[in-house]
C-alpha cells in the first residue's frame, strides 16, 4: 500500500502498517468504552482521533500506549503484537495534557532524561539534545528551568523529550488543551512542522475540530466507543459518513424530515418548513414516509434581502434574522424560518467586510443547492 506525507513529493511503499488495531474492545464493568475499533495507520502519517467527551478516543490511545489492556482484539506496532507489552517496552514517545516535566531540571536536562534512562552512550547525549532543542527552536533556552519558560516553550520541551530517543510512534493526548486559543493555534502549526520534518508516525487525541483538520493526514471520528469514520480531513469535512460526523465537525444544520420521493440519489423530503430537495448519502434509500436527517453546512447556505431572487440555487424560502454573532473574520447568523418559526438555521457570512450587517428582525430570502443538502438515514 502507499502512504504519502502531506507536503511531500516522495511516496513510500510499505506492506506493514506502523499501527494496526483489529476488532478492539475495552470494557470497564458494564461500560464498553471502545467497541470494535479497527484501523491501520501507515508509517509517517499523522492521525487525529476526534470525538466528544466519553467517545472512547482517550481509551483507544491508552490501549495503543499500553496503559490499558484490550478486553478483546489485537494491537500491533510495526507488525509486532503488543497487547501484553508494558508501556516501557514499546518504542513510543508521549506528550500529555499535563506535561509532567521535571521542575527541578533545566530544559536540556528534561530532554536528556529519556536518553539516560535508556542507557544511550553518554558521549552522544549532548549533541542529540542540542539537535532536538534546535528542532523545537529552544536552543537559547537550554539551561532555563521549567518555571522560567512560557506555556508554549514548555510544550516544546515536552515534544523534544518525547522525540529525542527517536521512537517508532508519537502519541499526543490533548497536549494543547490548556493553552489559550492563539497559542494553541500556533502550536498546532508547530506540531505539523515538526512531524513533517521528522516523518514520525503520530496519533493525536483531541476534541478540537480545527486542530484535527489542520494537523492531520487522517482523521478518525468516534462516538459512543465506535469509529464513525476514518478519512483525510477534506473528506471528513466534505463527505461525512453519517449525520453524527456531519453535525460534530463544523457549523452544521441538522433538520429532521420525512422522505417523499427518491430518484437515484436525488430525493425530496418533507420538512417543518415545506418540501425540500436533497442528495441521499446512505447505501439503500429508505421507503417514502421513513424518517431522515438533513445536514447542510452553514457556509453552504445563501441569503439576500427579502423577495430578492438567488441565482444558482435549487430551493429558496423566507426567513427572519433571529440573532447574529460577529467574530471578526466572519459573521454567524441565526435565521428563523417563516413557515416554521420555531426552526432556526445558522448561516456563515465569511466575507462580512463586503456586506452590511443585517439587524435582528430583518427579513431575507434563504437558498441552497440540492447537492449541498445531505440526507442521511435517521
User: What is the average per-residue pLDDT within 179-205?
Assistant: 89
Q: How confident is the model at residue 285 (pLDDT cuts 50, 70, 90)?
A: confident
Q: Is residue 224 part of a domain?
A: yes
Average pLDDT estimate for 349-367: 89
Going by pLDDT thresholds of 50, 70 and 90, the confidence category of residue 309 is confident
Question: Looking at the domain assignment, is residue 213 inside a domain?
Answer: yes
Give the whole-angstrom CA distance, residue 50 versus residue 55: 9
Of 211, 188, 192, 190, the residue nearest 202 (C-alpha): 192
Helices (H) and strands (E) in the chain, counts: 8, 22
- In this structure, is residue 246 part of a structural domain? no
What is the predicted pLDDT for the residue at 152? Answer: 87
What pLDDT, on a 0 to 100 scale, did the predictor assign at position 372?
96
Residues 230, 86 share a domain: yes
Cβ neighbours for 139, distance < 8 A, ≥ 6 positions apart: 130, 133
- Count CB-CB contacts under 10 A for residue 51: 26
Residue 308 has what pLDDT?
A: 82
Look at residues 238, 268, 303 and tell me which one is the last residue of a structural domain.
238
3-class DSSP assignment, residue 96: strand
Whole-number Å distance between alpha carbons of 370 and 56: 35
Residue 27 lies in a domain: yes
Query: What pLDDT is attached to residue 4?
Result: 41
One domain for residues 224 and 363: no
Do residues 210 and 264 share a domain? no
Residue 13, C-alpha cell as written in the block: 511503499
* Whether residue 150 has pLDDT greater than 70: yes
CA neighbor of 224 nearest in space, from 27, 32, 28, 24: 32
pLDDT of residue 177: 82
| Domain interval for residue 264 | 253-377
- The average confidence (pLDDT) of the chain is 90
Count up the domains in the chain and report the number. 2
State whether 373 and 302 are in the same domain: yes
Confirm whether 220 is domain-assigned.
yes
Give the tens place of pLDDT for each residue, 48-102: 999 999 999 999 999 999 999 999 999 999 998 887 777 777 789 998 878 889 9
Q: Are residues 260 and 220 in the same domain?
A: no
72-77 β-sheet, strand order: 31-41, 19-28, 72-77, 80-81
What is the average per-residue pLDDT within 36-49?
97
Q: What is the CATH number of the domain that holds 141?
A: 3.40.50.300
Strand (E) or helix (H) holding 325: strand 315-326
- DSSP element (H, E) containing 257: strand 252-263
Q: Are 3 and 55 in contact (CB under 8 A)?
A: no
Of 214, 238, 262, which residue constitutes the final position of a domain? Answer: 238
Residues 319 and 199 occupy one common structural domain: no
Same-domain check for residues 187 and 279: no
Identify whether residues 82 and 198 lie together within a single domain: yes
43 in helix, strand or coil?
A: coil
Of 182, 205, 238, which residue is a domain's last?
A: 238
Question: Is residue 243 a part of any domain in this protein?
Answer: no
Beta bridge mates, 171: 94, 203
Parallel, antiparallel or unpaired: strands 46-50 and 218-223: parallel
pLDDT, tens only, 101-140? 999 999 999 999 999 998 999 999 999 999 999 999 999 9
Taking 50 as the threshold, does the pLDDT of residue 7 lie above it? no
261 and 233 in a common domain: no
**Residues 78 and 131 both lie in one domain:** yes
Radius of gyration of the chain (CA): 24
Reported as type and span, the H/E element at residue 176 is none
**C-alpha 20, offset from chain centre:** 20
**pLDDT at residue 331 greater than cutoff 90:** yes
Q: Check whether residue 91 and residue 159 sit in a common domain.
A: yes
CATH code, domain with 302: 2.40.50.100
Residue 245: inside a domain? no
Which pLDDT belongs to residue 306?
86
- Report if residue 169 sits inside a domain: yes
Residues 213 and 262 in one domain: no
Amino acid at each position: 500500500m502507499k502512504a504519502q506525507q502531506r507536503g511531500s513529493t516522495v511516496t513510500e511503499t510499505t506492506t506493514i502498517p506502523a499501527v494496526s488495531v483489529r476488532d478492539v474492545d475495552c470494557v470497564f464493568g458494564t461500560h464498553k468504552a471502545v467497541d470494535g475499533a479497527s484501523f491501520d495507520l501507515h508509517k509517517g502519517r499523522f492521525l487525529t482521533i476526534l470525538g466528544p467527551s466519553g467517545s472512547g478516543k482517550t481509551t483507544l490511545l491508552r490501549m495503543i500506549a499500553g496503559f490499558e489492556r484490550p478486553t478483546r482484539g489485537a494491537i500491533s506496532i510495526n507488525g509486532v503484537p503488543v497487547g501484553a507489552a508494558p508501556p516501557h517496552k514499546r518504542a513510543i514517545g508521549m506528550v500529555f495534557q499535563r506535561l509532567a516535566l521535571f521542575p527541578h531540571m533545566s530544559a536540556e536536562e528534561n530532554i536528556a532524561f529519556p536518553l539516560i534512562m535508556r542507557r544511550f552512550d553518554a558521549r552522544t547525549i549532548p549533541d542529540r539534545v542540542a539537535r532536538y532543542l534546535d528542532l523545537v527552536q529552544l536552543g537559547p533556552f537550554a539551561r532555563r528551568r521549567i518555571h522560567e519558560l512560557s506555556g508554549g516553550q514548555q510544550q516544546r520541551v515536552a515534544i523534544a523529550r518525547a522525540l529525542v530517543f527517536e521512537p517508532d510512534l508519537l502519541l499526543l493526548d490533548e497536549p494543547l488543551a490548556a493553552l489559550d486559543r492563539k497559542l494553541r493555534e500556533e502550536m498546532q502549526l508547530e506540531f505539523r512542522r515538526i512531524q513533517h520534518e521528522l516523518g514520525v508516525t503520530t496519533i493525536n487525541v483531541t476534541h478540537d475540530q480545527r486542530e484535527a483538520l489542520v494537523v492531520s493526514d487522517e482523521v478518525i471520528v468516534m462516538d459512543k466507543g465506535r469509529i464513525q469514520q476514518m478519512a483525510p480531513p477534506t473528506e471528513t469535512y466534505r463527505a461525512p459518513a453519517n449525520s453524527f460526523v456531519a453535525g460534530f465537525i463544523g457549523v452544521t444544520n441538522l433538520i429532521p424530515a420525512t422522505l417523499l420521493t427518491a430518484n437515484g440519489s436525488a430525493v425530496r423530503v418533507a420538512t417543518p418548513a415545506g418540501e425540500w430537495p436533497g442528495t441521499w448519502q446512505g447505501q439503500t434509500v429508505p421507503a417514502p414516509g421513513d424518517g431522515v436527517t438533513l445536514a447542510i453546512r452553514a457556509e453552504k447556505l445563501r441569503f439576500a434581502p427579502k423577495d430578492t431572487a438567488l441565482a444558482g440555487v435549487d430551493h429558496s424560502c423566507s426567513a427572519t434574522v433571529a440573532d447574529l454573532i460577529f467574530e471578526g473574520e466572519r459573521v454567524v447568523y441565526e435565521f428563523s424560518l417563516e413557515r416554521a418559526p420555531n426552526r432556526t438555521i445558522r448561516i456563515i457570512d465569511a466575507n462580512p467586510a463586503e456586506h452590511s450587517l443585517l439587524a435582528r428582525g430583518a427579513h431575507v430570502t434563504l437558498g441552497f443547492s440540492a447537492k449541498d443538502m445531505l440526507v442521511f438515514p435517521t
